[in-house]
Amino acid sequence: MSDTTPPIKAREAKTREDWLAQARTLSEALPYMRRHSGETFVIKYGGHAMGDDALARLFAADMVLLRQVGMIPLVVHGGGPQIGEMLERLKIQSTFIDGLRVTDQETVDVVEMVLSGSINKHIVSAINAAGGFAVGLSGKDANLIQAEKLRRTKRDPESNIERVLDLGLVGEPKEITPHILDFFEETDIIPVIAPIGTGPDGETLNINADTAAGAVAEAVAARRLLMLTDVAGVKGKDGALIPKMTASQARAAIADGTIQGGMIPKVETCLHAVERGVDGAVIIDGRVPHAVLLELFTEHGAGTLIVPD
């Protein structure tokens, strides 16, 4: 035994403390497991959590655990960085209008290949490897996500004339057909959904993953919409995390500038969901290991919960 190896009794004591801590955690989680059993949870998966292999494995195991205790997780994933890398490898130039990628036919073909192909199947494989049963879908399967072209306008500051921005094959959900998801509720299968939709003329449309997740959550009347991000949640003007907000408080925080920048569309997605039947929407930090479990199975949660008034 080396000088740095703890004595046998110390190792045994430490192991016992670890076991007791795990037992306490399970015991404390039990009421939440019972409360959430049979309920549907839509999880938007993306950002750093998806790009980090260790976090990706933990996320997959967490989804298996949710299904094991009787909860119904539906995963909607993004993939912006991976799409950008593939476009660069294929030497396909991207243009942006006000931060939004203009998507022509060549670009949307790559988007669909990356989202519905490599990323989707990687997540499915990780969940299966963790002991679950996952199936990959895109919004085009069984007409799950019927979409229309996204319209954005921009007002010229000099002439005050508003013009329509043409973003190409970028869409937003118009109608969700959830019957295929209802089928999975009767099984142990976890659906993993790529945010690709079908347009009115059968064209493929690329949809923002946050928006797609919100629309799916509304359609299935989810108990919660969980948005994994790369920030801790919504912060007040003092920089402290706001653990819970009503819809009216969130709208007021946008109006007074407390919520700004890239957080605004995420909060607006949450507001849209809770005002249309979802019990609550949570913005949580996907960089934290087991963030979903911390949010659902602990009293303090792991982010900012937005609830109806």
CATH code, domain with 259: 3.40.1160.10
Composition of the chain by helix, strand, coil, percent to 5: 45, 25, 30
Model pLDDT for residues 191-225, shown as the tens digit of each residue? 999 999 999 999 999 999 999 999 999 999 999 99
Model pLDDT for residues 92-110, shown as the tens digit of each residue? 987 777 666 788 999 999 9
In a domain, 208, yes or no: yes
Q: If you write DSSP's letter for every residue of 147-193 in order, what string do you get?
A: EEE--EEEE-TTT--EEEE--BSEEEEEEE-THHHHHHHTSSEEEEE
Domain tally, the chain: 1
Count of positions (residues) in the chain: 309
Where does the pLDDT of residue 155 fall: very low under 50, low under 70, confident under 90, or very high at 90 and above? Answer: low
pTM (2 d.p.):
0.87
Neighbours of 57 (CB within 10 A): 13
In a domain, 252, yes or no: yes
Q: What is the extent of the structural domain holding 109?
A: 38-307
In a domain, 226, yes or no: yes
In a domain, 11, yes or no: no
Residue with the bigger pLDDT between 260 and 42: it is 42
Number of helices (H) and strands (E), helices first, in the chain? 11, 16
185 burial class (0-12, 13-18, 19+ CB within 10 angstroms)? Answer: middle
Residue 163: pLDDT above 70? no
In a domain, 199, yes or no: yes
Q: If you write DSSP's letter for every residue of 275-294 in order, what string do you get?
A: TTT-SEEEEEETTSTTHHHH
In a domain, 13, yes or no: no
In a domain, 210, yes or no: yes
Q: Are strands 204-207 and 170-176 parallel, antiparallel or unpaired?
A: parallel
Report the mean per-residue pLDDT for the chain.
88
In a domain, 31, yes or no: no
